[in-house]
Amino acid sequence: MNAVSKKIDPTPAAAPAPEAAAPAPAAAPAKPRKRSRKGLMLLVPVLLALGGSFVWLTGGRYIATDNAYVHQPLVPISADVAGRITEVFVTENQYVEVGAPLFAIDAEPYRIALAQADAALAASRLQVEQLRAGLVSAQAQVTAAEALAQVRHRDYERQQELENRGLSTPSALDNATLAAQSADNAVELARAGVAVAVAALGGDPQIATDDFPAVRAAQSQRAQAERNLGRAQVVAPVSGVVSQIGNLNVGQYVVPGTSIASLVQRDVTWIDANFRETQLELLTPGLPVTISIDAYPDLAVTGTVESLGAATGSQFALIPAQNATGNWVKVTQRVPVRIAVGSGDLSRLRDGMSAVVSVDTGRTRLDRLR
């Protein structure tokens, strides 16, 4: 029995084999899975389309450009008078306040010119006094001539009366007549001298000395000489940082109007952003702007749109493009927009730095469609 049982034992063990293969019919429910996969494949594009549409419709509020640069006034430093530099008071990249001395020019020639102008002014005032004295002398001559004429006329009348009585000779009457006429001529000459003296005083004998034309001219020359002497020391016209003083050396001869240094005005800052012409539709002055400086990514700076350029940047080029000669390539133009910097650590900004600006228009594409 044991041997038989050993032989028979494997048979029942093999019988469960059909049971192990029994799960095979379970593959029939595969159709619902295929339907769910198709549903997911259709749902994902729909969701993506809806999400993209939502993002697109709610976008467009901010208009940005990275074609933007920081600007600060660059004031050229030059002398108003010619001369050799005798002293330099500043160094490269030094901050100076308005009115601070920058360099000095040899002032001795201008001191001499001022002394000459003072002498010319004193001489012109003395000339006025001499003219007044001449007027007084001419008036005195008129008085003397009139008195003499009166005497000569009385003598003429006496001689005429004596001749009428037969007590005088004709020659005596002729002499008296000639003397009276000469006295009258002397009066006329004296009066002409008074007129000449009055004309020399500008037609007004009571004119103030400093109102006399020659004196005023001398005063103007003195004021010019005094101004030139004061301009021998060049001072900062504004507060800022002195730069490019390589040509500012003692002994160098400078001429008026020639720039020999620069002064960057740090307290005035703005940004010129060059937007594409297709971005200008919603840009108006007063819109808030967020500014990012390339050199300082962590620096938060804000501002507002101040104004839009009057022409595209290409129109301000030295040789503007002429597209009417067969150039059919259409290039999107850029229009400069000035942005006033409102808040932030502006002391770190430097003229010419690159920036990225983003203008908040306050309206999305959905708002524009409504």
Domain boundaries, the chain: 62-72+267-369, 74-105+232-264, 109-228
For residue 218, pLDDT over 90 is answered with yes
Yes or no: say if 72 and 264 are a contact pair by the CB < 8 Å rule: yes
pLDDT of residue 44: 73
User: Is the pLDDT assigned to residue 344 strictly greater than 80?
Assistant: no
Please tell me the least confidently modeled range out of 2-11, 92-101, 197-206. Answer: 2-11
| pLDDT tens by residue, 143-166 | 998 999 999 888 888 888 887 877
Instruction: Evaluate whether 265 touches 110 at the Cβ level (below 8 Å).
Output: no
In 3-state terms, what secondary structure has residue 256? Answer: coil
State yes or no: pLDDT of 274 exceeds 90: yes
Residue 129: pLDDT over 70: yes
What value does the mean pLDDT take over residues 10-31?
47
Q: Give dist(CA 348, CA 207) in Å, integer.
A: 62
- pLDDT at residue 326 in the model: 59
For 34-83, what is each residue's pLDDT tens digit?
Answer: 667 767 677 777 777 777 766 666 556 888 899 999 999 999 999 999 99
Task: Quickly count: other Cβ atoms within 10 Å of residue 280's Cβ.
Answer: 15
Q: Domain 74-105+232-264: give its CATH code.
A: 2.40.50.100
DSSP-derived 3-state class of residue 183: helix
- Indicate the range of 22-26, 35-39, 136-140, 152-156 predicted with least confidence: 22-26
- Asked whether the predicted pLDDT for residue 370 surpasses 70, the reply is no
Q: Which of 340, 345, 360 is nearest to 71 (CA)?
A: 340
User: Which class does domain 62-72+267-369 fall in?
Assistant: mainly beta
Of 368 and 283, more confident: 283
Assess whether pLDDT exceeds 60 at residue 3. Answer: no
What's the confidence (pLDDT) of residue 175? Answer: 86
Alpha carbon distance 56, 197 (integer Å): 94
Q: pLDDT tens, 230-241? A: 999 999 999 999
Could you tell me which CATH number the domain at 109-228 has?
1.10.287.620
Q: Hey, what amino acid is at 335?
A: V
Cα(246)–Cα(207) distance, integer angstroms:
55
Q: 287-335, pLDDT tens digit by residue?
A: 999 999 999 988 888 999 999 988 887 777 777 666 665 556 777 889 9
Query: Which tokens belong to 156?
Result: 């003429």
For the chain, the distance separating the N- and C-terminal CA atoms, rounded to the nearest angstrom, is: 97
pLDDT score recorded for residue 17? 45
pLDDT of residue 310: 87
Residues above pLDDT 70, as percent of the chain: 83
d(CA 70, CA 269): 7
Bridge partners of 301, per DSSP, are 291
